[in-house]
Amino acid sequence: MITHQIHDPRTTALAERVRAEVGPTADAILAAVAALAAAPSAGALAEEIHQINVAAHLLAEMVRTCRPELDEGGIEAAHSRLRHDLRTPLVALKGYGELSLEVAADEGLDDVSAALGPLLERVAEVMVAIERALPATSQAMDAEGDGEDDCGGGPRPVSYPAGRVLVADDSQANRDVLVQYLSREGHEVVAVGDGLAAIEAVFERPFDVVLLDMIMPGMNGDEVLKAMKADSRLRSLPVIMISALDALDSIVRCIEAGAEDYLAKPFNRVLLRARIGACLEKKRLREIELSYLQAVENELTLAREVQQSILPKAFPNRHALAGHGLMDPAREIGGDFYDFFALEGGRVGIAVGDVSGKGVPAAVYMAMVRTQLRATAQFGLSPADCLSRLNEHLSADNPRCMFVSLFYGIIDCAAGTFTYANGGHNPPAFLPAGGGVEWIKGTNDLLVGVMPGMSYHDARLTLAPGDSLFIYTDGVVEAIDPAEAEFGKQRLAEVLAATAEAPPAILCDGVLAAVRAFEAGRPHSDDLTCVAVRFLGGA
């Protein structure tokens, strides 16, 4: 990168402002650190005080040798970069200072506590001085620094659940501070120093939340974030971005890419604790929700298997008839049903129904309707009488006002007749042996289960060898394509005419395939159920 240092009056003004505003407070921090190191009990916190001393001298040296450089980003980029660099040592100063104050209070090191108080005051002052010299260009960054931790008296912070945290930051001091912060909160912490190591870590072991620095070698933070969100296994892993940068567009970009939250350096410990706690709580609730959804999905899968098991698998064994039925629910379970069963005298009962509503209530009601219809049919009643009795049973105790459209017919194999009743159902298709498609006319009475006392009527159709019947629910003709057009009876007739000579199973499968192709991937609007029957004739 080509830089133009140099005698640019704007960078000179920046450097002079930093030395004037920040220099005195940086020197005051050095004096406070010296007083801390001289405390009689300082040896108990030798490592922490050493880190504080290193950070204090780094800050003072950065202020003394401040020489902002211009590149293609211009004076605004130089301003942001200098602000970022000056705020970086404050992470160690503030972090180790607050940690040391906690330890000193716990262990009764009053002289150390007394020396740490002025030090932390000077740290707060230098943060204000940096804001005066290099004000934030984003309101988001200003807001991050409004509140300070209450490390003395006052109410104890809210307790949050502990979790497994990955810290990715290229600054060793920052990593050390965060590890100590989070470990004291009970978290299990892993720290890495660059983006590539962060990617390796999240793929090797599970974490509950990731703290991700925006500026790192190898891969920067937003590149790591995009890589994580692109993988389905990591998409729900909460990520909190951390940086001393004040570029609002970078913050917004990360949030839009899937970051859960953002934290500015130096860290406000209460804010850090709250945001990590909130992420862990969200993750816990999300896991509970996913577990519940998985349990519901398992239950629905089982319910689907049970529902499919009660539908007949094979057509009654009659030389004069061949038949097949299928049901493809719009959801895991549906409210449609079909049935065929043997009756006395070589007859076969055939029913197709569509219960109001969808899902579990419709499936339960469907099972009840099918069971009652089968039981009623065994008394040798006509289709109309069966629908009348069924209507009385269903409407007598119906607090949810459910009902069913139901087509029920009986084929007499010896006589070659089809006697049927229609309780508000779609008229079936009749496929004569000579070709063509006709819609069965006759009764079209009220839906079953709406109100007691309704009358139903029989109609009769004479069958010749080779004639076929196709009975279906409105999920066939009311299927919707992406352009909001319905499949309709005309398309159904065309499919039936093209496959009229095929066996009943192929006829049903052909209609199902045609409807699903018509929908072109659009979610199914309704259950799809159909039955195809061919009269073969003969004894």
b/e per residue, 389-404, with b = 16+ CB within 10 A?
A: bbbebbbeeeeeebbb
Reported as type and span, the H/E element at residue 100 is helix 74-107
What is the C-alpha separation between 24 and 20, in angstroms, rounded?
7
Residue 264 backbone dihedrals phi, psi, to 5 degrees: -95, 150
Which of 431, 448, 450 has its CA nearest to residue 439?
431
Quick check: is 30 in a domain?
yes
Question: Is the per-residue pLDDT at 508 higher than 50?
Answer: yes
**Is the domain of 253 the same as that of 118?**
no
Residue with tokens 């007949």: 312
Quick check: is 299 in a domain?
no
**Is the domain of 357 the same as that of 405?**
yes
Q: How many DSSP H helices and E strands does the chain contain?
A: 16, 15
Higher pLDDT: 480 or 177? It is: 480
3-class secondary-structure state, position 260: coil
Residue 444 near residue 424, CB atoms below 8 Å: yes
**Is the domain of 132 the same as that of 168?**
no
Domain count, the chain: 3
What is the C-alpha separation between 129 and 111, in angstroms, rounded?
28
Quick check: is 293 in a domain?
no
How far lies 197's CA from each of 166, 170, 189, 217, in Å? Answer: 11, 11, 15, 10
**Is the domain of 126 the same as that of 272?**
no
Return the CATH number at 265.
Answer: 3.40.50.2300
Question: Is the per-residue pLDDT at 155 higher than 50?
Answer: no
pLDDT at 140: 41
Structure tokens at 532: 């195809």
Higher pLDDT: 176 or 147? It is: 176
Quick check: is 481 in a domain?
yes
Question: Is the per-residue pLDDT at 265 higher than 80?
Answer: no
The one-letter code for the residue type at 411 is I
| Crossing angle between the packed helical segments 9-21 and 74-107, to the nearest 10 degrees | 20
Return the CATH number at 38.
Answer: 1.20.120
DSSP bridge pairs for 462: 417
Question: Is the per-residue pLDDT at 243 higher than 80?
Answer: no
pLDDT band at 66 (very low <50, low <70, confident <90, very high): confident
Question: Is the per-residue pLDDT at 107 higher than 60?
Answer: yes
User: How do residues 296-309 score in pLDDT, each as one tens digit?
Assistant: 888 877 777 777 78
What is the number of residues in the chain?
539
**Is the domain of 353 the same as that of 489?**
yes
**Is the domain of 353 the same as that of 442?**
yes
pLDDT at 526: 86
Higher pLDDT: 363 or 265? It is: 363
**Is the domain of 364 the same as that of 443?**
yes
Question: Is the per-residue pLDDT at 268 higher than 90?
Answer: no
Residue 448 near residue 424, CB atoms below 8 Å: yes
pLDDT at 267: 73
Structure tokens at 154: 């006052």
- Rounded average pLDDT over 260-277: 80
Question: Is the per-residue pLDDT at 501 higher than 80?
Answer: yes
Residue 432 near residue 465, CB atoms below 8 Å: no
pLDDT at 184: 81
Residue with tokens 């933070």: 221
What distance lies between CA 163 and its chain's CA centroid? Answer: 21
Residue 52 near residue 85, CB atoms below 8 Å: no
**Is the domain of 456 the same as that of 528?**
yes
**Is the domain of 462 the same as that of 526?**
yes
Q: What percent of the chain has pLDDT over 90?
A: 40
- By the 10 Å C-beta count (0-12 exposed, 13-18 middle, 19+ buried), 515 is classed as buried
Quick check: is 170 in a domain?
yes
User: How do residues 423-460 score in pLDDT, each as one tens digit?
Assistant: 999 999 999 998 899 999 877 799 999 999 999 999 99
pTM of the model: 0.57
Structure tokens at 397: 């105790």
pLDDT at 513: 96
pLDDT at 154: 43
3-class secondary-structure state, position 420: strand
- Rounded average pLDDT over 19-42: 90
Return the CATH number at 350.
Answer: 3.60.40.10
Quick check: is 241 in a domain?
yes
Quick check: is 156 in a domain?
no
Reported as type and span, the H/E element at residue 167 is strand 164-168
Quick check: is 83 in a domain?
yes
How far lies 82's CA from each of 62, 69, 205, 483, in Å? Answer: 10, 9, 36, 57
**Is the domain of 245 the same as that of 355?**
no
What distance lies between CA 464 and its chain's CA centroid? Answer: 56
- Rounded average pLDDT over 153-157: 44
Domain coverage including residue 276 = 164-286
pLDDT at 141: 44
**Is the domain of 493 the same as that of 354?**
yes
What is the C-alpha separation between 236 and 522, in angstroms, rounded?
27
Q: What is the mean pLDDT of the chain?
A: 85
pLDDT band at 249 (very low <50, low <70, confident <90, very high): low
pLDDT at 7: 56
Of 142, 175, 194, the residue at which a domain comes to its end is: 142
**Is the domain of 81 the same as that of 223?**
no
